[in-house]
């Protein structure tokens, strides 16, 4: 029984007239998973979520919840609940009435509703507010009411459409942690969409990266960050310096590449099976680059160079250097290590840098 | 029943209505109006909306010919003995159309001059309203009686020209010229009886062409103001009872007619409206003061000089209307 | 220019004086009307003959107060009945229109929208006469054909209601659409998502949201109906609403009874007007 | 199945609109047009033709009145704009919070009182024995009573008064939506009050100006009470002519023709105003 | 000549009725400086900036631009320009007319205006867009037009009121770098206000931290980050773990403290001259805490402990651990080093941690 996933999509498609917003998306979400869909604006996340909720009809493929196809089930009969981007709490009802709304639709009797509403409000840490108007709550509290309103119905799947988008920075940071906590307490399957990579990375068990209507990769946060399958994922998840180069020779995964300026680089093939002569796109994360005042320290790293500090973007623990590579004039951003050693680095200083081949992921260049 | 009565101001005083309601059990709804609006309303409703109306006798036959908005009077339901026979007869003749009688008389009176004798003693005839001594203090209605009155005052005989549209047009052209020239003298054209009374009482107007009753009523408050029968003759009118073609309370209508023509009631109406009625013996109960004023305004020769309106042939009103519009538009 | 931009004192005071004068200009006629309702004279004009309540409560001719004037009381009732129907109908139709224009896309929508706005730029008197002429000719045709009477198509309360409804609906539509436009349709989706039926979502979520606007539209409709003259004048039969009765009185010469009625109207309208504003501000 | 029910819903929503527009707006105007084409040739005898329109064009009185009504209405519109704009600006931009609400409400109160009452007030004020004349005598500014009523200025006063709120309200609304920071930015960039008014405030307020002007113009053009009651002997107004054709002349045919001409005139002027200002009816009136 | 600062405030004050929004603020900004004012919402930043621009009258103090008092100069005559939070581009004009607005007010002739507008648009990288409507631009482009509109007037000081606040995350990151670049190209004095510390840290030459209407500290980004003068600055700029403790003994700057749970800590006095018995507030930055699997590695650090991993907030280079201190149950956030050593750390693992006394800044506790 438990190996039937809570949610499964099979080659799901959605076209608006000529435009394909969602293309052949397939995935399945096991019970109790926090599943995020991460992608840039306009990539089709909302469309996908609304198909799952039933507000949009799929133009192809199938959609199953607990193994049952949902295609012909109207939205008010699907065992999924949705937390809307702007929460969509009913302003004309008090908090209790909001949370009890779904139960009322099911015809549950009044006293039971009251008991259940109070119980779920307590679970989200808002006991005793049932009588208050919605507007008397802070942004984060509203968020919790919206979740309570769904959870009281014990849905199989909870859908969340960028619910943190409207909050301010500090609150967003806080709610990230809180949401994850709520999910593990309720142990309900969450399908969460966002275009903010840090939200997805911090909260999710599984993340699907979506682009132009397709899923590019599904994996854990670390998989996406350290082993991105595609150039898009490598660029979208986390920061990276990119280069283009030609493959000089390939030895299994190990590649030897040459940039247009004649620089030689060593990297690893990210899975595109590059061969000699192929054009490759190369990604190196800023924190993968080591700095040193002496070349010797960087001997072990196969990719090295010397650059001049263009600017120091001081930002406490997240400071970065913008270096201009002495060899080819390319700009590079390098995470500034927290050791005091580099704290006095200033614009115009020269410095050596280098990084290991396994931090150099190479993808086939699509022109 | 409810009797929806379309009438002139003053013809259905509250006490009379109350007495009638008490006596017959009918309810009366009074709408105050004037000749043109009465006809316009009945025309728009195709003779519905009201159960009894009171246009002047000259306005019955023409409107009936054009719009068919009245129903013939069932004289058997009327106590004819209550009416002064001569008036009854004259009215029946004037309100006949295709062999049926459409109206019976109710109130009669005249239009002439109401003047503040202390300030405008010189005003004796309609044309005097255009004199320089009353400039800016004059008012009259922009309606057909004014055209007729000025015509007589100018030595013309409009009634004689009724039969001949061209001749009548000629008369109207002359009157129009006169009234256009006179316009600067006018303070405002009045519309309703109370309006002209207010203007005279406040002194904003000192000489006007108006109904006789207004003059007599004002006389009570201000002895200087009174009705003056013009030299060229006052214009005599009789307001009638007609039954709209689609009235729904004919019985109540006949009840009302018979009720208000009773001498005691007629006297009450005279006392509020100021005008005498066609009720036989109705003047017996009228205030002596009013009778005195009447006699003062109308010496015997003035009574003989009253010009009674003949029925207006259909079509002349269009000519009059155009003339009135042009006078109104003149600067 | 705005509060944060420094201006010379002279300019500021001139501006304020102008604004003050303007509000005096606005208030003057209304204040005058109200004051003369208490003049102990049969004319609503100077000189001031002392204070009296007669024009409200008097029972003796000529000083019959509003509260004892049957025709005026009757026309107030008539106006009330007309206003009730007009506001009811126009709010219902306005709500339908709002849903249609805000929620649906269809061919000819723009044309219909312009048509819907048209009553705003048709003079009231023309609306009145066109409805009068049209309904009369229908009635004539029907009566000739059937021999029955069609009093509803002749001047009277039904036509007055229809005539006022014909343009007040536009206002109702605009007021209600404005609010519906602000409605976040995800609220309705949320209701569906929580298990409500389509109609249930509209009833429990959308209509309550629209309610303040519907009420405001109803109040506006009542006020517009009460004060309408031009359209009503052409369509009125034997039951005259208040403005028409007052107009007839005014033509016949005014007594302070008219001031007294006006004062009552001003008070009631002001209260209703404030109410509608309060409702609108909930938007 | 789902699309069937939504189709039904759509039809149910469309029906009231169509019935309303068809039976109360479109057909009556068509009917009125047909009646305007009936020429009266005798008692209860009619023919079809343009005679009623010919009457209009052949009688200078009618088209003079028509022109005068249009001219006076346009003047009233401009005056209202001129007087109302500074007020709207004051309310929208120079007041805040409570004061703003109060002033705005004060603007609205006369709007909720019937036009008849407003005009009646002016009559009491302006007549020869009225408040203004008495006040001037009392103040010793004049020795004899003065008649302020019954002239074009009185009509203009009444029209402007009656229309003011329909100008001020849309102006306040649009000016309110003008972000103060745009004015500040203009000032910050060295603009003078006048250039900011011309380059920023007025262009922004254009939809409000146009919608206010259209409403005021239509109200003036279609006004009946104000010219009649305040204009006295010079009250001539095109609506008055229409009214008298219907009421005192029983001439519905000519009256309908006049009605149509008035409708044509108003549409034409509104159309021109929209074209000249580059606005659209839906944008300005639909708000 | 060049030692007259472009902008100088002397004890500038602003009260709204009873409420003092800006209290005795004094500072001076030398020519060509990128000067930021950083503070929480409502601290008085906008009020201060609007006083400089002339939209608000100072209730005390003096304000000088290039040495001349501006108190009696109306805003349209001050040699400062302002970039508004929502930019305040004139929607009724095209881009060229927007940029040329100020020149038109000065009566410059048309052809000159056109030339100058085109030149400044090119400098901000938007050549040839003069004829386009404002709304055809993206958020970042609008930003540049707003700057161009000011710069064409060659103001002595450019004021910017949170101009990035309305942009989305990615664009904001990008514009930070861009703004700094534009400033150094034009070499104009910028006064920039923001509540986002990372904006201020990355771009500014000098930062003033404002709180409750007062300047708490003025300094470079590094000074604020590494040597915050006050507890407020320490907490507001960058992240920090905080503790409260009592001073056990003070030896010059070196302090020995005891927390309420009896934990002994070594720290440095941040300038409040704490003495034995004083209550202190202690700030430790997450990246100052070292992790190790063996106690021995942390021997050199005087503050050490052992904790259990509460959760791993994986976020690429900015990942954090939430540790629960074994000794007192306090939560602590620790920056996860980029070395692969700790990559496999998971919830429930035990780990040693420690930090140096000089990373432990102590302030007097204000109760
Ligand atoms: N009703 C529609 N008709 C046509 N195209 C649409 C419709 N709704 C969405 N689209 C298009 O489909 C694509 C995906 O839209 P969607 O709203 O799913 O994106 P998203 O990933 O949620 O973006 P965001 O992060 O901005 O919310 C977009 O290019 C959008 O323009
Ligand atoms: N006109 C005013 N009247 C009274 N108080 C005001 C006024 N304007 C601002 N304040 C108050 O002054 C304080 C400072 O406001 P200011 O707008 O300068 O803050 P800020 O630092 O710019 O905040 P934010 O980051 O939210 O923009 C706030 O407490 C605010 O409530
Ligand atoms: N042309 C006829 C005038 C009729 C007047 N009836 C007047 C009644 C006045 N109270
Ligand atoms: Mg979306
Ligand atoms: Mg601010």
Nearest CA in chain D to B141: D233
- Is there a contact between D70 and D221 (Cβ–Cβ < 8 Å)? yes
Q: Do D250 and B189 touch (CB under 8 A)?
A: no
Q: Which of chain D's residues have a Cβ under 8 Å away from the Cβ of B203? A: 129
Beta bridge partners of E283: E242, E361
% of chain B surpassing 90 pLDDT: 29
Of residues C240, C106, C118, C241, the one with CA closest to residue C169: C118
Range name among A303-317, C264-278, E129-143 with the lowest pLDDT average = C264-278
Question: Pick from B6, B29, B192: which is nearest to C251 by CB?
Answer: B192
Backbone phi and psi for residue A277, each to the nearest 5 degrees, phi listed first: 95, -15
Structure confidence at residue A14 (pLDDT): 94
Cα→Cα distances E177→A279, B193, D16, E38, Å: 30, 86, 59, 18
> Which pLDDT band, with edges at 50, 70 and 90, does D73 fall under?
very high
Structure confidence at residue A213 (pLDDT): 93
Which residues, 6+ apart, have CB-to-CB distance to C59 below 8 Å? C65, C68
Residue A44 CB–ligand 1 contact under 6 Å: yes
> What is the mean pLDDT of the segment spanning A2-14?
89
> What is the mean pLDDT of the segment spanning D218-238?
86
- Is there a contact between B182 and B130 (Cβ–Cβ < 8 Å)? yes
> What is the mean pLDDT of the segment spanning E278-301?
88
- Preferred mutation among E49, E55, E73, E82 to probe C, highest tally of C CBs within 10 A: E55
The answer on pLDDT for B107 being more than 50 is yes
> Which pLDDT band, with edges at 50, 70 and 90, does D1 fall under?
very low
Structure confidence at residue D285 (pLDDT): 67
Report which of residues D277 and A247 the model is more confident about: A247
Q: Do A237 and E316 touch (CB under 8 A)?
A: yes
- Is there a contact between A328 and A261 (Cβ–Cβ < 8 Å)? yes
For residue range B41-100, list pLDDT tens digits in order. Answer: 888 888 888 999 999 998 898 889 888 899 999 999 999 889 988 889 889 988 999 999
Please state, as a whole number, how many other Cβ atoms lie within 10 Å of the Cβ of residue D11. Answer: 10
The answer on pLDDT for E36 being more than 90 is yes
Residue with tokens 């029968």, as numbered in its chain: B229
A88 in reach of chain C (CB within 8 A): yes
Helical axes D27-36 vs C124-146, angle rounded to 10°:
80
Q: Do B40 and D246 touch (CB under 8 A)?
A: yes
Maximum CA pair distance of chain D?
85
C171 in reach of chain D (CB within 8 A): no
Question: Pick from D44, D61, D232: which is nearest to B66 by CB?
Answer: D44
Backbone phi and psi for residue C25, each to the nearest 5 degrees, phi listed first: -55, -40
Question: Pick from D31, D110, D183: which is nearest to C134 by CB?
Answer: D31
Distance of alpha carbon D191 from alpha carbon E74, whole angstroms: 11
Structure confidence at residue C253 (pLDDT): 65
D208's torsion region: left (phi>0), alpha (psi -120 to 50) or beta?
A: alpha
The answer on pLDDT for B178 being more than 60 is yes
The answer on pLDDT for C88 being more than 90 is yes
Q: Do E57 and C6 touch (CB under 8 A)?
A: yes
Which helix (H) or strand (E) is A282 found in, with range? strand A279-284
- Is there a contact between E305 and E326 (Cβ–Cβ < 8 Å)? yes
> Which pLDDT band, with edges at 50, 70 and 90, does C202 fall under?
very high
Of residues A126, A183, A127, A193, the one with CA closest to residue A155: A183
> Which pLDDT band, with edges at 50, 70 and 90, does E2 fall under?
low
ipTM for the whole complex: 0.83
> Which pLDDT band, with edges at 50, 70 and 90, does D286 fall under?
low
Closest residue by Cα to atom 3, ligand 3, is: B237
The answer on pLDDT for D235 being more than 70 is yes
Please state, as a whole number, how many other Cβ atoms lie within 10 Å of the Cβ of residue E276. Answer: 11
Instruction: DSSP letter for C149, please.
Output: -
Q: Which two tokens stand for residue C259?
A: 């001031």
- Preferred mutation among E165, E195, E196, E317 to probe A, highest tally of A CBs within 10 A: E317
> What is the mean pLDDT of the segment spanning C48-58?
82
Nearest CA in chain C to A52: C193
B315 C-alpha to ligand 3 centroid (Å) = 21
Distance of alpha carbon E331 from alpha carbon E312, whole angstroms: 13
Question: Pick from B31, B196, B198: which is nearest to C238 by CB?
Answer: B31
Q: Do C189 and A84 touch (CB under 8 A)?
A: yes
At CB < 8 Å, which residues of chain C contact A? 184, 186-187, 189-198, 200, 204-205, 208-209, 211
Structure confidence at residue C1 (pLDDT): 64
Q: Which of chain D's residues have a Cβ under 8 Å away from the Cβ of E153? A: 189-190
Q: Is the peptide bond before C47 cis (omega within 30 degrees of 0)?
A: yes
> What is the mean pLDDT of the segment spanning B316-323?
84
pTM recorded for the entire structure:
0.85
For residue range B277-292, list pLDDT tens digits in order. Answer: 888 888 788 888 888 8
For residue range C223-235, list pLDDT tens digits in order. Answer: 889 889 989 988 9
Structure confidence at residue C155 (pLDDT): 86
DSSP state string for B92-132: HHHTEETTEE--EEEEEEEEEEEEEHHHHTT--SGGGGGSG
Structure confidence at residue D2 (pLDDT): 45
The answer on pLDDT for D169 being more than 60 is yes
Of residues E348, E337, E363, the one with CA closest to residue E245: E363
Report which of residues A71 and E168 the model is more confident about: A71
Q: What is the mean pLDDT of chain B?
A: 88
> What is the mean pLDDT of the segment spanning D177-189?
91
Of residues E330, E352, E333, E332, the one with CA closest to residue E341: E352
Q: Which two tokens stand for residue E240?
A: 């920090």
Q: Cα E214–E215–E220 angle (5° rounding)?
A: 165
Structure confidence at residue C281 (pLDDT): 64
Closest residue by Cα to atom 20, ligand 1, is: A42
Give the three-state DSSP class for A133: strand
Q: Which of chain B's residues have a Cβ under 8 Å away from the Cβ of D232? A: 187-189
- Is there a contact between B20 and B273 (Cβ–Cβ < 8 Å)? no
Structure confidence at residue A2 (pLDDT): 56
Beta bridge partners of E211: E214
% of chain A surpassing 90 pLDDT: 52
Maximum CA pair distance of chain A?
77
> What is the mean pLDDT of the segment spanning C120-138?
89
Beta bridge partners of E81: E158
Q: Do D190 and E106 touch (CB under 8 A)?
A: yes
The answer on pLDDT for D213 being more than 80 is yes
% of chain D surpassing 90 pLDDT: 33
Cα→Cα distances A27→A9, A107, A183, A215, Å: 5, 34, 20, 9
The answer on pLDDT for C34 being more than 70 is yes
The answer on pLDDT for A218 being more than 90 is yes
The answer on pLDDT for B229 being more than 50 is yes
- Is there a contact between A70 and A57 (Cβ–Cβ < 8 Å)? no
Ligand having the closest approach to the CA of B110: 3
């Amino acid at each position: 029984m438990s190996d039937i996933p809570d949610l499964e999509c099979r080659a799901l498609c959605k076209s608006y007239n000529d435009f394909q917003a969602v293309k052949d998306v397939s995935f399945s979400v096991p019970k109790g998973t926090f599943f995020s869909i991460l992608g840039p604006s306009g990539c089709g996340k909302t469309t996908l979520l609304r198909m799952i909720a039933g507000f949009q009809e799929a133009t192809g493929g199938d959609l199953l919840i607990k193994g049952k196809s949902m295609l012909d089930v109207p939205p008010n009969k699907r065992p999924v609940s949705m937390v809307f981007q702007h929460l969509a709490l009913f302003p004309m009802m008090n908090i209790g009435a909001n949370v009890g709304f779904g139960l009322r639709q099911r015809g549950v009797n009044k006293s039971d509703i009251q008991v259940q509403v109070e119980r779920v409000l307590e679970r989200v840490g808002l006991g005793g507010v049932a009588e208050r108007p919605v507007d008397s709550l802070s942004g984060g509290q509203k968020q919790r009411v919206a979740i309570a309103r769904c959870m009281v119905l014990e849905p199989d799947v909870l859908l969340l459409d960028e619910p943190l988008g409207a909050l301010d920075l500090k609150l967003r940071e806080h709610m990230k942690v809180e949401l994850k906590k709520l999910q593990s307490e309720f142990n309900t399957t969450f399908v969460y969409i966002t275009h903010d990579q840090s939200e997805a990375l911090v909260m999710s068990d599984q993340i699907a990266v979506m682009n132009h209507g397709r899923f590019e990769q599904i994996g854990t946060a670390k998989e996406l960050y350290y082993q991105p399958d595609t150039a898009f994922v490598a660029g979208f998840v986390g920061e990276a310096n990119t280069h283009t180069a030609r493959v000089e020779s390939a030895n299994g995964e190990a590649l030897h590449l040459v940039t247009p300026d004649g620089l030689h680089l060593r990297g690893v093939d990210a899975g595109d099976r590059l061969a000699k002569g192929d054009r490759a796109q190369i990604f190196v994360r800023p924190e993968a680059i080591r700095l040193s005042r002496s070349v010797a320290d960087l001997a072990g790293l196969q990719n090295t160079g010397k650059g001049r500090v263009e600017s120091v973007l001081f930002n406490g623990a997240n400071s970065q250097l913008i270096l201009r590579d002495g060899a080819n004039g390319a700009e590079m951003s390098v995470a500034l290590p927290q050791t005091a050693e580099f704290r006095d680095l200033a614009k115009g200083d020269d410095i050596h840098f280098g990084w290991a081949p396994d931090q150099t992921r190479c993808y086939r260049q699509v022109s | 029943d409810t009797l929806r009565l379309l009438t002139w101001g003053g013809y259905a005083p509250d006490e009379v209505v109350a007495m009638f309601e008490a006596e017959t059990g009918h309810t009366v709804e009074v709408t105050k109006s004037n000749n043109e609006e009465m006809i316009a309303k009945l025309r728009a409703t195709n003779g519905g909306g009201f159960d009894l109306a009171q246009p002047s006798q000259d306005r019955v036959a023409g409107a009936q010919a054009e719009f068919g908005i009245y129903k013939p009077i069932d004289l058997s339901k009327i106590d004819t003995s209550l009416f002064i026979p001569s008036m009854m007869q004259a009215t029946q003749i004037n309100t006949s159309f295709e062999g049926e009688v459409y109206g019976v008389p109710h109130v009669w009176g005249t239009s002439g001059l109401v003047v503040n004798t202390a300030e405008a003693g010189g005003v004796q005839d309609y044309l005097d309203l255009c004199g320089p001594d009353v400039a800016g203090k004059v008012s009259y209605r922009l309606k057909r009686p004014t055209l007729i009155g000025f015509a007589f005052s100018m030595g013309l005989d409009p009634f004689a020209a009724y039969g001949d549209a061209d001749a009548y047009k000629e008369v109207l052209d002359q009157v129009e010229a006169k009234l256009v020239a006179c316009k600067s003298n006018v303070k405002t054209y009045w519309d309703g009886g109370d309006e002209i009374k207010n203007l005279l009482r406040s002194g904003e107007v000192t000489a006007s062409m108006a109904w006789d009753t207004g003059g007599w009523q004002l006389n009570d408050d201000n002895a200087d103001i009174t009705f003056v029968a013009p030299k060229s003759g006052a214009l005599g009118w009789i307001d009638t009872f007609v039954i709209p073609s689609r009235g729904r309370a004919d019985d109540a209508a006949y009840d009302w007619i018979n009720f208000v023509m009773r001498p005691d009631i007629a006297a009450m109406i005279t006392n509020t409206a100021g005008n005498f009625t066609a009720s036989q013996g109705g003047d017996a109960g009228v205030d002596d003061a009013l009778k005195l004023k009447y006699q003062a305004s109308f010496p015997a020769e003035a009574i003989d000089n009253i010009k009674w309106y003949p029925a207006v042939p259909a079509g002349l009103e269009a000519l009059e209307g155009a003339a009135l519009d042009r006078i109104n538009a003149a600067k | 220019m705005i509060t944060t931009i420094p201006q010379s004192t002279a300019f500021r005071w001139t501006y304020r004086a102008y604004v003050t004068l303007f509000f005096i200009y606005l208030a003057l006629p209304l204040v005058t009307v109200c004051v003369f309702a208490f003049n102990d004279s049969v004319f609503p004009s100077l000189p001031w003959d002392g204070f009296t309540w007669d024009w409200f409560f008097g029972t003796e001719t000529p000083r019959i107060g509003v509260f004892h004037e049957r025709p005026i009381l009757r026309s107030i009732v008539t106006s009330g009945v007309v206003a009730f129907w007009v506001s009811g109908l126009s709010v219902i139709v306005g709500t339908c229109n709002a849903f249609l224009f805000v929620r649906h896309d269809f061919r000819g929508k723009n044309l219909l929208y312009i048509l819907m706005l048209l009553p705003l730029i048709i003079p009231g008197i023309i609306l009145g006469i066109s409805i009068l002429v049209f309904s009369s000719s229908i009635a004539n045709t029907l009566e000739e054909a059937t021999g029955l009477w069609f009093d509803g198509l002749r001047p009277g309360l039904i036509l007055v209601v229809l005539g006022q409804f014909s343009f007040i609906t536009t206002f109702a539509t605009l007021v209600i659409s404005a609010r519906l436009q602000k409605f976040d349709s995800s609220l309705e989706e949320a209701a569906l998502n929580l298990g409500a039926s389509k109609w249930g979502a509209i009833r429990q979520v959308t209509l309550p949201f629209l309610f303040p606007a519907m009420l405001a539209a109803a109040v506006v409709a009542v006020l517009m109906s009460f004060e309408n003259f031009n359209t009503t004048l052409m369509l009125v039969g034997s039951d005259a609403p208040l403005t028409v009765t007052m107009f007839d009185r005014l033509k016949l010469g005014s007594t302070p009874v008219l001031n007294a009625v006006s004062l009552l109207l001003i008070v009631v309208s002001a209260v209703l007007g404030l109410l509608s504003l309060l409702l609108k501000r909930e938007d | 199945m789902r699309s069937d029910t939504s189709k039904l819903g759509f039809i149910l929503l469309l029906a009231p609109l169509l019935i309303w527009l068809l039976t109360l707006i479109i057909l009556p105007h068509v009917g009125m047009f047909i009646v305007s084409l009936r020429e009266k040739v005798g008692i209860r005898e009619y023919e079809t033709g343009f005679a009623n329109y010919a009457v209009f064009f052949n009688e200078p009185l009618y088209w003079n009145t028509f022109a005068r009504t249009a001219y006076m209405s346009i003047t009233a519109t401009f005056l209202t704009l001129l007087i109302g704009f500074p007020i709207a600006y004051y309310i929208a931009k120079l007041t805040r919070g409570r004061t703003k609400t109060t002033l705005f409400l004060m603007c609205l109160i006369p709007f909720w009182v019937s036009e008849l009452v407003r005009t009646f007030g002016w009559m009491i004020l302006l007549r020869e024995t009225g408040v203004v004349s008495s006040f001037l005598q009392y103040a010793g500014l004049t020795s004899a009573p003065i008649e302020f009523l019954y002239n074009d200025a009185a009509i203009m006063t009444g029209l402007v008064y009656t229309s003011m709120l329909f100008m001020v309200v849309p102006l306040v609304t649009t000016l309110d939506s003008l972000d103060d920071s745009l004015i500040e930015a203009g000032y910050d960039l060295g603009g003078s009050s006048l250039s900011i008014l011309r380059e920023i405030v007025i262009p922004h307020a254009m939809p409000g100006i146009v919608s206010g002007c259209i409403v005021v113009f239509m109200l003036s053009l279609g006004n009946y009470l104000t010219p009649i009651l305040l204009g006295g002997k010079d009250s001539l107004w095109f609506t008055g002519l229409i009214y008298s054709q219907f009421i005192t002349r029983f001439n519905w045919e000519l009256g309908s023709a006049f009605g149509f001409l008035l409708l044509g005139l108003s549409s034409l002027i509104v159309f021109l105003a929209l074209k000249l200002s580059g606005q659209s009816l839906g944008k300005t009136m639909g708000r």
